[in-house]
A and B are shown apart, each in its own frame.
Chain A
Amino acid sequence: MSEKHKAWRNDAYAKVTGRAQYAGDLRFHGMLHAVPVYTDFVHARIRRIDAAAALRSPGVVRVITARDVPGSVTFGQILRDYRMLADDKVRFNGDVAAVVVAETRERAIAVIPLVKIEAEELPPLLDPDEAMKPGAPLVHEGHGSNVVNHHKVRRGDAAAALRACDHVIEQEFRTQLIEHAYLETETAVAVPRPDGVTEIYASTQHPFSTRRFVAALLGVPLADVEVRTVPIGGGFGGKDDTVSVVAARAALAAKLTGRPVRIAYDREWSMRESYKRHPYRIRYRMGFSSSGRIEACEVRVVADAGAYCSVTPWVTWRSTVQCCGPYDVPNVHCDVYGVYTNNVVTGAMRGFGSPQINFAVEQLVEMAAERCGMSATEFRKRNMVRQGSVTITGQKLDTHTVSLEQALDSTLRGIGYHGKHAKCSFGKSGSDELYGIGYAISYRGMSLGAEGMDFNSAVINVQFDGSILLEAAVHENGQGAESAMVLICAEQLGVDKQRIRYRMPSTANIPDGGTTVASRGTIMGGGAVANAARALKARLAELLAAKLECPPDRVRFSNDRILGADDVHALTWPEAMQQLFLAQEYPYSFGTFKAPQVSWDEHTGQGKAYFTWVYGCQAVELTVNKRTGRVKLLGMSATHEVGKAVNHAMVLGQFYGGMAMGTGYALFEEIHNDGGLVRNANFNHYRIPRATDLPEMTGIIIENPDPNSPTGAKGVGEPTNELMAPAIANAIYNATGVRHFSLPIRVRPLTGEERA
Chain B
Amino acid sequence: MIAYINGRKRVLAEDDLGKNLLSFLRDELGLTGAKNGCGIGACGACTVLVNNRPVRSCRKAVADIVDANVLTIEGLAREDGSLHPLQQAFADAGAIQCGFCTPGMVLTAHALLLANHEPTRAEIRRAISGNLCRCTGYQQIIDAIESAAKFYR
Contact = CB atoms under 8 A, between A and B. Distances in A.
Interface of A: 1, 6-7, 9, 11-22, 24-25, 180-185, 231-236, 266-267, 477-480, 649-650, 652-653, 655-661, 682-684, 688-692, 694, 696-697
Given A16-B83, A696-B139, A7 B94 contact: yes
B17 interface: no
Contact of A652 (B74, B100, B125, B140): B140
A13 B83 contact: yes
Contacts of B100: 22, 182-184, 233-234, 478
B55 to A, nearest CB: 16
Contact of B74 (A17, A184, A692, A694): A17
Given A183-B35, A234-B134, A480 B42 contact: no
A235 B99 CA distance: 12
Contacts of A19: 33, 74
Given A1-B147, A7-B91, A649-B94, A18 B33 contact: yes
7 contacts: A22-B35, A183-B133, A184-B37, A185-B36, A479-B135, A656-B138, A692-B129
Nearest to A689: B137
Counting chain A CB atoms within 10 Å of each CB, the highest count among B34, B36, B83 belongs to: B36
A253 to B, nearest CB: 20
Return the 4 tightest CB-CB contacts between A and B, nearest first.
A18-B33, A478-B98, A233-B100, A15-B99
Given A12-B96, A182-B98, A691 B134 contact: no
B99 A682 contact: no
A653 B32 contact: no
A696 B142 CA distance: 10
A688 B140 contact: no
A183 B34 CA distance: 12
A688 B134 contact: yes
A194 to B, nearest CB: 26
Contacts of A694: 125, 137-139
B34 to A, nearest CB: 8
Contacts of B26: 25
Given A6-B92, A16-B96, A691 B138 contact: yes
A35 B6 CA distance: 33
A619 to B, nearest CB: 15
A693 to B, nearest CB: 8
Given A18-B74, A233-B100, A478-B99, A183 B45 contact: yes
Given A649-B94, A650-B94, A657-B134, 15 more contacts: A6-B92, A7-B96, A7-B140, A16-B99, A17-B33, A17-B76, A18-B72, A18-B74, A21-B32, A22-B100, A24-B35, A478-B98, A691-B128, A694-B125, A696-B121
Contact of B39 (A266, A650, A660): A266
Contacts of B43: 183, 683
**Most chain A CB atoms below 10 A, which of B74, B98, B101:** B98
Given A653-B94, A690-B129, A682 B38 contact: yes
Interface string B82-112: 0100010011111111111111001000000
Interface in B23-68: 26, 31-40, 42-43, 45
B38 A692 contact: no
B77 interface: yes
B107 to A, nearest CB: 9
B98 A233 contact: yes
B134 A236 contact: yes
B126 interface: yes
A653 B98 contact: no
B136 interface: yes
Nearest to A25: B32
Contacts of A478: 97-100, 135
Contact of A479 (B34, B42, B97): B97
A181 B134 contact: yes
A70 B49 CA distance: 48
A24 B39 CA distance: 14
Contact of A234 (B130, B135, B140): B135
A18 B139 contact: no
A689 B137 CA distance: 8
Contacts of B126: 691-692
A688 B43 CA distance: 10
Contacts of A6: 92
Most buried by B among A6, A652, A688, A690: A690
A656 B38 contact: no
Given A19-B33, A649-B140, A684 B40 contact: yes
A524 B108 CA distance: 38
A51 to B, nearest CB: 26
B100 to A, nearest CB: 3
B47 to A, nearest CB: 11
A656 B147 contact: no
A9 B91 contact: yes
B132 A183 contact: yes
Nearest to A685: B42
Contacts of B70: none
B137 A656 contact: yes
A18 B98 contact: no
Contacts of A24: 32, 35-36
Given A652-B94, A697-B137, A691 B125 contact: yes
Contacts of B149: none
Contacts of A21: 32
A556 B93 CA distance: 33
A11 B38 CA distance: 24
Nearest to A655: B137
A22 B43 CA distance: 18
Q: Which of B26, B39, B72, B139: most chain A Cβ within 10 A?
A: B139
B132 A690 contact: yes
B106 A16 contact: yes
Nearest to B30: A27
A690 B138 CA distance: 8
A688 B42 CA distance: 11
A692 B120 CA distance: 13
A684 B132 CA distance: 11
Nearest to A648: B94
Contacts of B96: 7, 9, 11-12, 15-16
Nearest to B124: A691
A697 B94 CA distance: 14
Contacts of A690: 129-130, 132
Nearest to A662: B137
Nearest to B36: A24
A183 B134 contact: yes
A656 B136 contact: yes
Contacts of B130: 690
Contacts of B95: 7
Contacts of A267: 37-40
A697 B140 CA distance: 10
B27 to A, nearest CB: 8
Contact of A656 (B45, B87, B140): B140
